[in-house]
Amino acid sequence: MRTNHSPFDESSSEPGGSGMSFTVHFERPSFAEIAATIRRIVPVAGEPDFSLTPDSIHSFMAKGGFDLLWQRIPDWESYEWGKREISDEEFVGLLFSPQPPSDDEMVVVVTDECFCGSEHRGFSFRFRDLLTFAREVYPHVVRRPMDFFQPSDTIFIAEQSRLLVMLHHEGQQTQFTG
C-alpha cells in the first residue's frame, strides 16, 4: 500500500469545528488490496471475481446469498442535474445513516476517478478526516480536478466495523454490515 501525505499537510483548522489542528494523512491501496478487504467483510464461497463497482459488488454478494437493500436518495435527479445543491455534510449523513464508522476508524474509498489512468488505487484515511480530505485534498490528487461528492459510483469500506457503503450513480445507496 502506498502511503501519501496530503500536499496540504501543514496543520489547519478543522472546517466548522473546534479549531483543533491536524494533519490529513492518506494511503493509496491497490484495487487488489481493496477487493481482499471486501472479501474479508463478505465471505463468498468460491470467491467469484468482481470489480470495484456497485453493480459488480452487488452481484458478488448475491452469489453468496447476501441481499442488499438499496434505498432511493430523495431528489437525486435535481442534484444530478445541478438544480439543487447538497452540502458535503448532508451527503455524508445520507450515505452513513444509520451507522457511521467511528471517527478513528480507517475507511477505504473508491470513486470513479480511481479508475482513470493506469494506477487503479483507492484512498484510505480516518473517517474523521473524510470532509477535510474531500474538500482540501481530493480535488488536487485526482487527474481531473473535481469535487469528491459527485452523483457517481462511490464505495466506502470500514473493515473494523465490517461496514460497506455504496452509492450508485442512478441515485441509490446501500449499507451492509457483515
Q: Is the pTM of this model over 0.75?
A: yes
- Interval 18-53: pLDDT, tens: 333 336 899 999 999 999 999 999 999 988 999 999
- Interval 150-170: pLDDT, tens: 878 999 999 999 999 999 998
Hey, how many other C-beta atoms are within 10 angstroms of the C-beta on 33? 15
- pLDDT-derived band at 1 (thresholds 50, 70, 90) equals low
Q: Please state, rounded to an integer, the average pLDDT across all residues of the chain.
A: 85
Nearest Cα to Cα of residue 100 among 160, 171, 172: 160
Position with higher pLDDT, 19 vs 91 = 91
The DSSP symbol for 117 reads T
Residues in CB range of 39: below 8 A, 6 or more apart: 47
- Interval 95-123: pLDDT, tens: 998 889 999 999 999 999 999 878 899 99
- Interval 117-140: pLDDT, tens: 788 999 999 999 999 999 989 888
Nearest Cα to Cα of residue 15 among 149, 133, 140: 133
